[in-house]
Amino acid sequence: MLCKVTSKNQLTLPKEILDRFKNREYFDARLENGRIILEPMIVRPVVGERLNGIRDAVAESGPDESEIESIVHEARRAGRN
């Protein structure tokens, strides 16, 4: 079936295909051997202990709040050069 890419880089999929994937909003897109593969996905929010683990990992490796202002200032200065 023919699909069209719009000027905004959106791909229109035929209704006949999407009808087979009711209640699916998300698709994983990947390249395999020069082909685009779309796989329907179910997205579940991360909650509980797993979310706490992610937050802890970010807190350990990322900048703390006192560093944010200088990082933003440095990025803006670099963008002017």
Structural domain of 72: 48-80
Same domain for 17 and 37?
A: yes
Residue 80: per-residue pLDDT? 66
What tens-digit pLDDT sequence spans the chain (81 residues)? 899 999 999 999 999 999 999 888 999 999 999 999 999 998 877 777 877 887 787 788 777 777 778 878 877 777 665
List CB contacts of 13: < 8 A, sequence separation 6 or more: 3, 38
Residue 30: per-residue pLDDT? 93
Q: Provide, for the chain, the percentages of residues in helix, strand and coil under a 3-state DSSP scheme, each rounded to the nearest 5.
A: 45, 20, 30
List CB contacts of 31: < 8 A, sequence separation 6 or more: 37
**Domain count for the chain:** 2
Same domain for 28 and 54?
A: no
